[in-house]
Structure 1
Amino acid sequence: MVGNAVYWNEAGAPEPETSRADLPREIDVAVVGAGYTGLATALHLARGGRSVALFEAGQIGHGCSSRNGGMVGPSFHKLGMTGLTAKYGETRAYAIMQEGMNALDHFEAFVADEKLDCDLQMRGRFRGARTVADYDAMARECERLNSAVGLPFEMIAADDQRTEIGSDFYRGGVVYLRDGGIQPRKLAVALAAKAREAGVLLFSETPVTGIRRDGRGSELRCGGSTVRARDVVVATNAYADRRTDAMHSRVVQIETGAVATEEIPAALMAELSPKGRMFGESGRIFMWYRPTSDGRRFIFGGRMGRRGCSAEERAAATKKAIVRVFPQLAEIAISHAWSGEVAYTPDHAPHLGFEDGVWLAGGYCGSGVTRSLYFGTKLARRILGAADSGTAFDDLPFEKVPFKPFSRLVADLMTRWWAWQDMRDLRRRG
């Protein structure tokens, strides 16, 4: 039977130690949301001399920070160079794409400098092309990114792809040489430990039920208590609700899921992933997948299965996509299945800044591991009034989602439409 549990939690570090003190009556900065963004922001603020309290409605890292695929890379804008150039012009497009490289450089340096135990393995990512047209489009985009921001890549022809992946499904693909993977739960736990060492008060199972701004700062309601803060950071991202409406009103929450296989024989693992790469594919509704850090299982994820489906339904839907790529896994069972929310924005870009009386960072559009630590650092520096706090996203307006109450329905309908288009393309490729 498939376990309705997050694999990373069982294979990760123990639950972080949180504060046993009473809630403070006053604090310099209150951070709402204890995922990567909130933890990184709180850590840098505390090191900058501010008193900081971090409030989490569930357990530390409960949301996407423990549920994601643990894949790191430049996290380029969803529109690509062509789409960005058409929308903002070439100079601005280059600047936005450069931020992806900056975020990755920051992430790697931060993990190394802080000695964070998160199983960082920079082994690259193979992205398979479902069609010949996809392969050609990948090559053109990678050439533009290499010219613009120095992205290292290697195109892999279909005849050579067995050196990268144990599958004949794709029509070739590209290897992104600067990509890699982490154990996401371990990163959340390591960040929490660093934040606590810096003096951050961590309060789990402490939902903020309201935020009221006045002339002296903000007042946060936490159960029967009230906390006054000079500044408030809302870092709830896809787990925002009306209680943190400044974020909630600006993102579309989309449910995505993931599964873990049972342990796979070593010889088969070597066949499926000869170089221990991360994996992805072209398409509108695509699957990502990767070996676990210990190389004994595979994790697969994407928008397979209907919203709110059971663990068994999600495992079955994902298994269909798995065997399309890896027929060798037809008899390998799924041991874990889970789901979570990711936050998309109307302009497909992440954002940070000051909106509706609070500081915000989020809207990562499914690519938040490297961005979240980078944005957390930049946001903290901005609050502290420190230099080097700017990004290319700063003057992109963080617009509210039109017709927000219907956004989930629209997202579900669009997902079905894109999935149908993907199936049509696969049928046509022969």
Structure 2
Amino acid sequence: MAEIFAETYRADGRPYWWDELVSAPPNWPQDETLFDVAIIGSGFTGLSAALEFAEAGLTVLVIEAERLGHGASTRNGGMITGSLHETPEDLAKSIGTELAESMSREARGLVPFMASQMDRFAIDCDFRIGDHFMGAYTAKHYEALSRSLPQYQRRGLPMRMVPKADQGRYIATDHYQGGRLHEQCASVHPAKYHRGLVQNASRLGVQFVEQCRVTDVTRAGEHFRLQTARGPITARRVLMATNGYTSPALGWYRRRVVPMQSSIIATEELGEARMASLFPTGATVNDTKRILSYFRPSPDGKRLIYGGRATFQPIDVNETARRLRRMMLGIFPQLDDVKISHCWGGFVAFTFDFLPHAGQQDGVDYAMGYCGSGVALASWLGHRTALRMLGRASPSAFEARPFKTRPFYTGNPWMLPAIGEYFRVRDRIDYALFRARQKKAA
């Protein structure tokens, strides 16, 4: 077997993005310090909220179990689509028309919100508004995308169908049977974005503590007492912003999210000309498979960043890279000569209703459960939850539904390997039926 790893490849699972990470100076507060707000988690949710609290003049402490940005905020693909998992009408059937419209309206505002945040805080993170192409895995999938298109168009979203004969204008592959184009999505360098949030928060006086896992949160009179690996912390308000990295010690929250591994590879540099031939408009891409793929050009336009569900159980990072590369070649067989420079993974958090949630439990506020679309949703819900806590905004629509778990679920997603294999089989069946219809038609 030919060597697939570039000379610069690292087998330690370090993300391609991490050259842009920043750390905060050690700042362990004195025991008697009373913070206005303690935020558990240093990702996009926690930092977006911290900025609002600090601008309002509150004292804020962000507590991180690892190093700042250790979780999915600096491990993701950096893609922003501004949509939820269900179509607006399917969502209305499950939760009611009024609430579905409110959620869809918030989702439609995600790209403009992100653009405004970049301007507001002068964050240099390769933020780019552009095309997003959703590739149809089979002809039936294309038909389903086409049927749902008017739902988005009626709500003002600039979407249109792209038949297979025209998809080469956006992506150099025959793998898909056409797809749907959304012309106002966005992409970002996630670690640079995270760095910008940290720098702005630090400038506003937010304090940070790393390597400090929170093990319990209890009421202490009018305040909250947080037990941590490094000692107690006291705060007037607490925001839980841990998403797919919620500790088992934080049982109520952990029982409501299903952490799921997502993995990504970065290729070696391919050169701008070759990358432009693969992505003529620089579009970001995902597809309609149940075990989906998502991919994009790197912000500098020199590499392919390719992600997917390579596995639903722990495997070696090198084997993950091999699997993802095989998946990538299924879409771009012309990249058979290309080597891998990075492979890494992280946890997204799904919920049992496939919707993000925010709200309050026993006086502790929370926002989490972004179901794989956390770059903008986490930023938005961190921002909006903070404004609601400050009394400056009404609750988000994502606070309206109870945050439910399932009987006997303790936070350990033991069922994922079986569910993942079931979805893989369903994808294979879909494709086999599609090929059978093609042969019959021929």
Question: For the Cα contact (< 8 Å) 1:29–1:53, is it kept in 2?
Answer: yes
Question: For the Cα contact (< 8 Å) 2:133–2:283, is it kept in 1?
Answer: yes
SS of match in other structure, 1:58: coil
Q: 2:166 aligns with which of 133, 137, 160?
A: 160
Partner of 1:143: 150
Question: For the Cα contact (< 8 Å) 1:70–1:184, is it kept in 2?
Answer: yes
Question: For the Cα contact (< 8 Å) 1:70–1:181, is it kept in 2?
Answer: yes
Gaps spanning 5+ residues in structure 1: where? none
Q: CA deviation at 1:156?
A: 0.8
Q: CA deviation at 1:150?
A: 1.1
CA distance in 1, matches of 2:18, 2:217: 34
SS of match in other structure, 2:88: helix
Q: Which letter maps to 2:331?
A: V
Q: What are the Cα deviations for residues 140-175 of structure 1, in whole angstroms up to 9, with x where unaligned?
A: 22210121x211112111111111111011111111
Q: 1:429 aligns with which of 407, 412, 434?
A: 434
Q: Which letter maps to 2:274?
A: L
SS of match in other structure, 2:265: strand
Partner of 1:390: 395
Q: How many residues align?
A: 426
Say if 2:45 is the partner of 1:37.
yes
Q: Which letter maps to 1:61?
A: G
Q: Which letter maps to 1:107?
A: M
Partner of 1:403: 408
SS of match in other structure, 1:57: coil
Say if 2:273 is the partner of 1:239.
no
Partner of 1:56: 64
Cα gap change, 1:67 to 1:106, in 2 (>3 Å): same
Partner of 2:227: 221
Q: 1:418 aligns with which of 392, 415, 423?
A: 423
Partner of 1:326: 332
- Identity rate of aligned residues, in percent? 31
Question: For the Cα contact (< 8 Å) 2:162–2:181, is it kept in 1?
Answer: yes
Q: What are the Cα deviations for residues 319-351 of structure 1, in whole angstroms up to 9, with x where unaligned?
A: 121111100111101111111111011111101
Q: CA deviation at 1:78?
A: 1.6
Partner of 2:13: 5
Cα gap change, 1:240 to 1:335, in 2 (>3 Å): same
TM-score, L = length of structure 1: 0.95
Partner of 2:78: 70
Partner of 1:128: 135
CA distance in 1, matches of 2:77, 2:407: 29
Q: CA deviation at 1:191?
A: 0.3
Q: CA deviation at 1:301?
A: 0.7
Partner of 1:365: 371
Q: 2:273 aligns with which of 254, 258, 267?
A: 267
Question: For the Cα contact (< 8 Å) 1:129–1:170, is it kept in 2?
Answer: yes
Partner of 2:104: 97
Question: For the Cα contact (< 8 Å) 1:353–1:359, is it kept in 2?
Answer: yes
Question: For the Cα contact (< 8 Å) 1:305–1:313, is it kept in 2?
Answer: no
Gaps spanning 5+ residues in structure 2: where? 436-442
Say if 2:98 is the partner of 1:82.
no
Q: CA deviation at 1:427?
A: 1.9
Q: What are the Cα deviations for residues 76-111 of structure 1, in whole angstroms up to 9, with x where unaligned?
A: 222222321221233332222111012322111111
Q: Which letter maps to 1:57?
A: A
Q: Which letter maps to 1:87?
A: S
CA distance in 1, matches of 2:271, 2:230: 53
Q: 2:299 aligns with which of 286, 293, 298?
A: 293
Partner of 1:345: 351
Q: Which letter maps to 1:135?
A: Y
Say if 2:387 is the partner of 1:381.
yes
Structure 1 consecutive aligned stretches of length 4 or more whose deviation exceeds 4 Å: none
TM-score, L = length of structure 2: 0.92
Question: For the Cα contact (< 8 Å) 1:305–1:318, is it kept in 2?
Answer: no
Worse overlay, 404-413 or 374-383: 404-413
Question: For the Cα contact (< 8 Å) 1:211–1:243, is it kept in 2?
Answer: no
Q: CA deviation at 1:232?
A: 0.8
